[in-house]
Structure 1
């Protein structure tokens, strides 16, 4: 369980339902289904980039409210012995389904999650996982690179898309909560979404 390994003792400070959510193994995937209350993008001229990113199942130009959403987290063991978590996030707009997929492993020495975004991989980002005092999981991005075949080119800080994720659990309604905000230091918001979902039977 890579997330338990990276968080160490702090894993037990997560809300119990988040502990279940992030205890992903090859025999224990996570499937969720819910609604994105809001999905928004940034400046209008960024739409061309977002339309291009669709090819890699990365970002997308659509926006809206109350968008059906599914998430699947599955695990496999790589040839080098590392555990990899595959993230399949699907947003079901009225006329099209968009995806935001990623592959995660960990660097236990640096205590970071290694996030390869897109399918095939287009971007790479370091991720830091933190447990908030209320039991939420907070995720922050670090150094980023663009992937060009076998080449990984560092992205200057001013061009990075800084990511902040907050994931929690609503005990009253029995739903997982998710808030994602992706911003650039110069351009402002690139994408944001806020949603609720429940676990489906495996």
Structure 2
């Protein structure tokens, strides 16, 4: 059973039909979409060096802008202990530069959450809680986080965490998926955010 329908249970059927279609077979076959980020913003300027370092791990990037082309891909994988995983690749195209925001996700049946390893190789881990909105949209909220150092993981106090909120919906009038992402820190405020739209590639 797909990891996203497992974590949502009966709520999965409340998703917009197009979101159900997109997530139903996500572990069985690759998916690719493309679109435009209407806005990408990066928060505090002093974080520029940290975000530039993040480009090496395909996690963060310092660029900002409007109407930035991007692609999104999901690819099924099998983990070391045989668990189903989904590799996410998000690529943003800034005037010839390719920037990434990648992750590897799997389902934890004991805790009923999605496990999210961010970056390549991973430098951050986060629990993800999924809920369905009244309009059939998918709401994703990060919870407990850990810094990853190889095979060692260290829990992060909340003041060091980047709390992510993701909302994905489908616009029936325009026939596009809409995505809104915001990552906030309790002290630093916005780390980065973006909002845009995309369609399935044939």
Question: What's the TM-score, normalizing by structure 2?
Answer: 0.97
> Hey, what's the Cα distance between the residues in 1 that align with 2:163 and 2:57?
19
Whether the 8 Å contact between 1:179 and 1:194 is mirrored in structure 2 is yes
How many residues matched? 201
2:113 alignment counterpart: 112
> Hey, what's the Cα distance between the residues in 2 that align with 1:63 and 1:41?
6
* Cα distance per residue 1:8-42 (max 9 Å; x no partner): 00000000000011123454221100000000011
> Hey, what's the Cα distance between the residues in 2 that align with 1:184 and 1:77?
32
* RMSD, aligned CA: 0.9
Shift of residue 149, structure 1, vs aligned partner = 1.3
2:184 alignment counterpart: 183
1:196 alignment counterpart: 197
* Cα distance per residue 1:130-189 (max 9 Å; x no partner): 001110000000010111112101111111000000000000110000000000000000
Whether the 8 Å contact between 1:24 and 1:74 is mirrored in structure 2 is no
Whether the 8 Å contact between 1:36 and 1:69 is mirrored in structure 2 is yes
Q: State yes or no: 1:40 paired with 2:41.
A: yes
Shift of residue 56, structure 1, vs aligned partner = 0.2
> Hey, what's the Cα distance between the residues in 2 that align with 1:18 and 1:180?
17
* Aligned 1:84-99 pairs, distance under 5 A: 84-99=85-100
2:8 alignment counterpart: 7
1:135 alignment counterpart: 136
Q: State yes or no: 1:144 paired with 2:145.
A: yes
Question: What's the TM-score, normalizing by structure 1?
Answer: 0.97
Report the secondary structure of 1:64's partner residue. coil
> Hey, what's the Cα distance between the residues in 2 that align with 1:55 and 1:140?
25
1:169 alignment counterpart: 170
Runs (5+) with no aligned partner, structure 1: none
Whether the 8 Å contact between 1:24 and 1:73 is mirrored in structure 2 is no
Shift of residue 109, structure 1, vs aligned partner = 1.8
> Hey, what's the Cα distance between the residues in 1 that align with 2:53 and 2:166?
24
